[in-house]
Structure 1
Amino acid sequence: MSQFIKGVEDLLDEIIKRKETFLQKILKPAPLWVTPDQLTLIRILCIFPIIFFLLGKKLFLAFSFYTFGALLDLIDGPLARVRKKETDLGKRLDPFADKILFGVTFIILVLAIRPSFSKILFWLIFICEFILVALSLIGKNFMVYKGLKKKLGANLWGKWKFTLQFFGIYLLIFNQLFFAHIVLWVSLILAIASIIGHLTFKEEKP
């Protein structure tokens, strides 16, 4: 069983690496005035039109802004890495942008637009997200306090969890509740795997 999990982990990691390499190649010619931190800030601002259009039941427009935010999420990290300009601000803002874009959209969709969505799954997802945020904050502060040159365990599962959460939002927007439940249950399993990973300390690679 452990060999199977390791094989799946290696496969998912390889897909992420190939995606990163591809995006870095196509983003190299991007204008210098476009910065990764700007893209992250725009992604955060996308939540306001998303809220407005969701509450107004203009789901296609909400979908459009959500997709725009998702595309920015896809490119801001690779753009920072290809330019070797990963900033402390970007490292703090990126996970915040991820959480707020998914979290606020998910809340409105489930509570105001798709009330038949499983409330058990809804709360389990938010409990896991809260735990992940808490572990990240506590772990980072603990390591700074102790002066440890280590990082919290692999976030590979977290990356794939977030990808599935994005697709789950699309399915909710278009009222595909059956498939949304499947995708988001799988994302919950990955969230639990991510929590386990965060509880495992690994030596930081040079």
Structure 2
Amino acid sequence: MRVNNQIPPNSYFSALRFRFPVYHFFYLSNALSMLRILLVPAIYWSLVSGHMVMLFFFGGAAFISDMLDGFFARRLDQRSELGKVLDPIADKLTIAFVSFALILSRKPGFDANFPVWAFLIMVMRDFLILGGSVFLFKRTRIIEPSNFWGRAATVLISIALIFYILNYQQIFVVQYKISYCLLWIGIVLAIVSLLSHKQRLIEIYKNTG
């Protein structure tokens, strides 16, 4: 309930402002994560349009920023709740848009086409985690970071996507079974991370309820 146009201290929006103060957006680590998010449309456009030089440029910039954001967060003592949110969002958006671009680029009769089922599983899993995290935050004001299984899944799926791109463009042909196996393992780990995340959210909710 608003009083004199002020947001009550225990409101959802007040909690957002408390957890994500404006100055956190100017942390170098968080700025790099936001840069990765801004690079997602450029990476998608480069892949769909077949501009491989631009793809490697934008993709390389995203990769370097991904490596540096965690380094600067630790080095400059810039760990923040905002960073817990931005980093996985950047990863999820990049993987989702690259996967979708590969689906749009499917070639008839091509063995190494990216499987649609993998894209659907990844998107559904991310929406479930997002929904659970938002629910937990609204009830407990706690932000749960990504877990080990989720980070491992991101690494394996990212490597698989790189192999798929190389095969599509005939730049460096990798046995499609290798890409497929890496993708499968990554998907399994992603599902494990979802179950682990669900269990963790339930535990936090019970302990703070």
1:135 aligns with 132
Structure 1: gaps (5+ residues)? 1-32, 145-149
Structure 1 residue 152: Cα displacement: 4.8
2:58 aligns with 65
Distance 1:84 1:125 in 2: 32
Matched, 1:163 2:169: no
The CA RMSD over aligned residues, in Å, is 2.6
2:120 aligns with 123
Structure 1 pair 155/34, CA: closer, same or farther in 2 (3 Å)?
Answer: closer
Matched, 1:108 2:101: yes
Distance 2:30 2:143 in 1: 23
Matched, 1:173 2:172: no
Structure 1 pair 108/158, CA: closer, same or farther in 2 (3 Å)?
Answer: same
TM-score normalized with structure 1 length: 0.69
Regions of 4+ moved over 6 Å: none
Structure 2: gaps (5+ residues)? 1-25, 168-173, 205-209
Q: Is the 8 A contact 2:27 2:78 kept in 1?
A: no
The alignment-based identity, stated in percent, is 25
Q: Is the 8 A contact 1:152 1:199 kept in 2?
A: no
Aligned-partner SS, 1:174? helix
Q: How many residues align?
A: 166
Distance 1:127 1:89 in 2: 23
Matches within 5 A, 1:40-79: 40-79=33-72
The correspondence for 1:81, drawn from 70, 74, 94, is 74
1:191 aligns with 190
TM-score normalized with structure 2 length: 0.68
Q: Is the 8 A contact 1:43 1:73 kept in 2?
A: yes
Q: Which amino acid aligns with 2:85?
A: R
Q: Is the 8 A contact 1:153 1:200 kept in 2?
A: no
Q: Is the 8 A contact 1:50 1:66 kept in 2?
A: yes
Distance 2:92 2:120 in 1: 15
Distance 2:106 2:196 in 1: 34
Structure 1 residue 76: Cα displacement: 0.3
